[in-house]
Amino acid sequence: MELKTKLEGLKKFKQNLFGKDFLLTTEKTLDELKYITELAETLKEFHKQGKSFKLFDSGLGISIFRDNSTRTRFSFASAVNATGLGISDLDEVKSQIAHGETVRETANMISFLAEIIGIRDDMYLGEGNKYMREVADAVQEGFEKGVLHRRPNVVNLQCDIDHPTQSLADLGKLKDYFGSFENLKGKKLAMTWAYSPSYGKPLSVPQGIVTLMTRFGMDVTLAYPEGYNLIPELEAKVKNDNPSFKVVNSMEEAFKDADVVYPKSWAPFEVMKERTKLLQNSDKDGLKELEKKCLANNAKYKNWECDETKMKLTKGGEALYMHCLPADITDVSCKEGEVSKEVFEKYRIHTYHEASYKPFVIAAMILSSKFENLESELLKKL
């Protein structure tokens, strides 16, 4: 499709993203989520054709990573650069839980010439998304009181609840794979826990996937070993809103007839809660003890591996395998992991392609929050 047509097509969506933060997909309307996804597609096409979507003259895009990250960091840096901003990383707050005046003041001090603030804070249950809101409130106050000339918008680069840049990149991949949003309806997606030789992986990816994909009419099954549940209220809400949503305790059951499988390790909600408390108290012995206990528990579920036998259970044995990467691949990155070498290799390029949507999703979030007449601005770049 021509870029011009694509841009014109974006106008059909009713959306109110200008001036808004992007903190949870659940706070956005279906039209807004479609808009971001199609805008990301369009920006991807701009890039493919060697066309620029640099709309800022200058200004900073600030990243705050309170957890290590390579993929999301580079996706954010790429998006920030492509839109015309300069990247600046605030690294002082890594692995601290800061609140109150410290957050309020720092947020303003770094924002005098900032346009966007991307935050990753996924370590502490009940804290990550809250921290993003504190930052957003602080710059809102700074803006209202005349300290900031413009109000930088906050983009959630992964928190304790959601990972919207990932789940929307995944949505972009699914739309491309199945052809349209419409075609996603009724497709069966298995979001399942998988064994990994590490512990403490955040809940945000599975939570983000089940909340988002059910809204697009997918038939989602969440599977995990007993005790490995997500945030209970979140699971309950998804179930309440989507009668077709199922939670099961068997990988095989979830894979049965699935069109898409997303096998990925995470730590049980109860463990994350306990871990958060231990991290807050800097209880190193407690953390070591918890890790030992969890790894031992995980080890009971080594058969939760996505292998060729389980893949045969899926629709025609040919379900799409998805992963947010990096995956723990048996005999490649570890002895026993989330996925067998054969399955991963078969879908490897698919997972790379899935990831390729992320920088453009972030760019779409940045541009839609900062330019009121975005389509017109982008048309000028053609």
Q: Report the residue from 109, 236, 296, 379 that binds a copy of itself according to the rule CB under 8 A.
A: 109
Tell whether residue 1 is a contact of a copy of itself (CB under 8 A).
Answer: no
* Smallest distance, a copy of itself to C-beta of residue 246, A: 32
Closest contact distance (angstroms) between CB of 355 and a copy of itself is 6
Q: Say whether residue 140 binds a copy of itself (CB under 8 A).
A: no
Site string for a copy of itself, 306-345 (x = CB under 8 A): -------------------xx--x--xx------------
By CB under 8 A, residue 179 contacts a copy of itself: no
Q: How many residues bind a copy of itself (CB under 8 A)?
A: 56
Residue listed under structure tokens 């570890």? 334
Q: Is 169 in the site for a copy of itself (CB under 8 A)?
A: no
Select the residue interacting with a copy of itself from 137, 356, 371, 377 (CB under 8 A). 356
Shortest reach from residue 221's CB to a copy of itself, in Å: 27
Residues 2-61 that bind a copy of itself (CB under 8 A): 44, 47-48, 50, 52, 54, 57-60
Under the binding rule (CB under 8 A), the answer on residue 100 touching a copy of itself is: yes
Stretches 109-117, 198-206, 234-242, 272-280: which one binds a copy of itself (CB under 8 A)? 109-117
Under rule CB under 8 A, residue 352 binds a copy of itself: yes
Contacts of 281 (CB under 8 A, 6+ apart): none
Cα 352 to its chain centre, rounded Å, is 15
Does 200 bind a copy of itself (CB under 8 A)? Our answer is: no
How far are the Cα atoms of 85, 232, 304, 321 from residue 342, in angstroms, in the given order? 41, 34, 16, 12
Binding status of residue 71 toward a copy of itself by CB under 8 A: yes
Query: What residues pair up with 329 in beta bridges, in sequence order?
Result: 339
> Min. distance of Cβ 182 from a copy of itself in angstroms?
24
**297 in contact with a copy of itself (CB under 8 A):** no
State the residues that interact with a copy of itself by CB under 8 A.
44, 47-48, 50, 52, 54, 57-60, 68, 70-71, 74-75, 77-79, 81-82, 84, 86-88, 90, 92, 100-102, 105-106, 108-110, 112-114, 142, 145-150, 325-326, 329, 332-333, 349, 352-353, 355-356, 358-359
